[in-house]
Structure 1
Amino acid sequence: MKKAEIKLTIELDDNNVPENIKWESTDSENKEQLATKAMILALWDHNYKNSLRIDLWTKDMPVDEMKRFFYETLQTMGDSFLRATGEKNIVEDLRDYCAHFAEKMEIKQGQ
């Protein structure tokens, strides 16, 4: 069985606000830590039947990039949900909402 490890390194300021977020994976060709401005990690706790989440972003994450990050996260959650369940109709509804979200947040497509 193959195993991979993902490592997150979070540097916090004196108020525990993230200043730097870095990650690396043993399964990646790139062996150095990669910097990022935001992350969302969701895990399913099958014992309690609920999700566990870690949402972090650095204090210098621009608001326009945060809007796009959420938009793209919603889009890719739709992709994952479709692969996991085959529920095409509800994913189309989610896509419609994503288009509405992008319009309201003034997110330009393809940027």
Structure 2
Amino acid sequence: MAIVHKSDIKITVSLDENRVPEKMEWTARDGGAANEEAKAMLLSLWDSEQQETVSIDLWTKEMPVDEMQKFFHQTLVGMTSTFRKATGDDKMADTMKDFCEYFAEHLNLTKK
């Protein structure tokens, strides 16, 4: 099948003098996003040739711990859903979901 369209996602990271992220912005024109601010990002790419994940994990020095905890929880919940859709492995996805619930409870992230 021929490629009929290409889409770019651009991430701009502004660093301080010690190369620590101070500001991050992302743009995805096809998604309607332009220069949206972010305090953290986790990017994982699969290298099929090496059979390993290449990761870029960044957060700004202004990212509060409580927001980082919520960010990780929501990321884990999203990964659980994606894992279920991608593999059809309901048993493992349910185990992952249980962990996400434990994670939220342990960090007091559950809404009361």
Q: TM-score, normalised by structure 2?
A: 0.93
Question: Counterpart of 1:22?
Answer: 25
1:29-76 per-residue CA deviation (whole Å, 9 max, x = no partner) reads 24x310010000000000100000000000000100000000000000
Aligned-CA RMSD value: 1.2
Once the two structures are TM-superposed, the CA of residue 3 in structure 1 deviates from its matched residue by 1.5
Question: Counterpart of 2:67?
Answer: 65
Pairing 1:69-80 to 2, within 5 Å after superposition: 69-80=71-82
Q: Distance in 1 between matches of 2:19 and 2:102?
A: 34
- Between Structure 1 and Structure 2, how many residues are aligned? 109
Once the two structures are TM-superposed, the CA of residue 26 in structure 1 deviates from its matched residue by 2.5
Pairing 1:80-99 to 2, within 5 Å after superposition: 80-99=82-101
Q: Distance in 2 between matches of 1:108 and 1:78?
A: 17
Q: Secondary structure at the match of 2:100?
A: helix
Mark the runs of 5 or more structure 2 residues left unpaired by the alignment. Answer: none
Q: Distance in 1 between matches of 2:32 and 2:72?
A: 27
Q: TM-score, normalised by structure 1?
A: 0.93
What is the identity percentage for the equivalent residue pairs of Structure 1 and Structure 2?
A: 41
Mark the runs of 5 or more structure 1 residues left unpaired by the alignment. Answer: none
Which 4+ stretches in 1 moved above 3 angstroms? none
